[in-house]
Amino acid sequence: TLPVAKVGLYLYLKGEPRQTIVKSIRNLGKYIFTMPEDTLHGDEYQILVIAEEPKLPHIHSFTPAFQVAPPAPGQLSRVPPAVPTITVTFPLRPNLAWACGSSYNISWTDSGSVGVVQIDVLRKGAFSFRVIGSLINVGGFQYAMPLDAPTGDGYQVRVRSATNKKAIGLSIPFAIVDKEAATAVPRQPKQGAHSRPATTAQGGGGSPRNPRLLQPLSTPQQRARSRTASP
């Protein structure tokens, strides 16, 4: 049996397509669908389930025929379900700098029927790059920032329902920094163990203090006269 990753569901009436229910949804074997109130009443409705990933039109199945009927007298219309919500709980730390190559656990909470989610990174509200396109909603995903990820500030993580685009959660802004810049430590210049500051001779013109250079050397003639003058 060829595995089918994603399927599409379509509403048919008397063998003709009437409405797209959902396209390319993860093949979980079930899907909750609320019939719109403005659907034409009638018999011989069917739902087509067809393989869409991989795209194999010959792998499909129709449900048995059923009827769409008006509500009974006095029956209240069904209240549409509330829009599901997603709240990103990490990144949530102010002034976070996410270094390229570092891993963090992106996490979120949700309410309602969120279903499969996708995770993206935005910069200043615009799409920057995708983290993962389809993920079972388990409330978290371990992610290592790529080494070649663009750097800068104003980034946000967006967690969004793949089946209901209105269900979106955004993290607070954070920065992406280069790995080398994040791990660099400023170095202080080292002085040698035996190094000493240079000193100059008093009254000299900046010459090093050396006893041999404090007085000018005598010439041979001066030394000879000095010996002759001695008693």
CA distance 145 to 156: 13
* C-alpha distances out from residue 147 to 79, 101, 102, 142, Å: 48, 5, 9, 16
pTM of the complete model? 0.48
Who wins on pLDDT, 83 or 133? 133
* C-alpha distances out from residue 102 to 114, 153, 178, Å: 28, 16, 10
Residue the block writes with tokens 């000299």: 204
pLDDT band at 219 (very low <50, low <70, confident <90, very high): low
Who wins on pLDDT, 26 or 159? 159
Summarised one tens digit per residue, pLDDT across range 121-148 is 999 999 999 999 999 999 999 999 999 9
Q: End-to-end CA distance of the chain, in Å?
A: 128
Report which listed range, 29-38, 46-55, 217-226, is most confident. Answer: 46-55
For residue 181, pLDDT over 50 is answered with: yes
